[in-house]
Amino acid sequence: MAERRLARYRQYAPLTRAAWQSGGLHWRTVDADQDEPLVTAAVLSAYRSLPRIPSAISTKGQD
């Protein structure tokens, strides 16, 4: 089952990446073939490097 998921990922990842990037979204790749603490650190680093989305406009006090 995992092999099929990985094959599907490898098949569609380039198309998905191109679509996201053409829409202005960022794509980060993390090498998951490392020890878990290294993967976790890489994921957190990739997440922290993403541009921040502005906070939602507050409607507090507006009814």
> Do 43 and 30 contact (CB within 8 A), yes or no?
yes
pLDDT score, position 33: 92
pTM of the model: 0.56
Q: Please report the DSSP string for the chain in residue order.
A: -HHHHHHHHHHHHHHHHHHHHHTT--------SS-HHHHHHHHHHHHHTSPPPPPPPP-TT--
d(CA 31, CA 49): 16
How far is 27 from 44, CA to CA, in rounded Å? 14
Reported residue count of the chain is 63
54 pLDDT higher than 70: no
Residue 56 confidence class, pLDDT cut points 50, 70, 90: low
| pLDDT above 60 (res 63) | no
Residue 5 pLDDT: 93
Reported as a single tens digit per residue, the pLDDT across 10-35 is 999 999 999 989 998 888 889 999 99
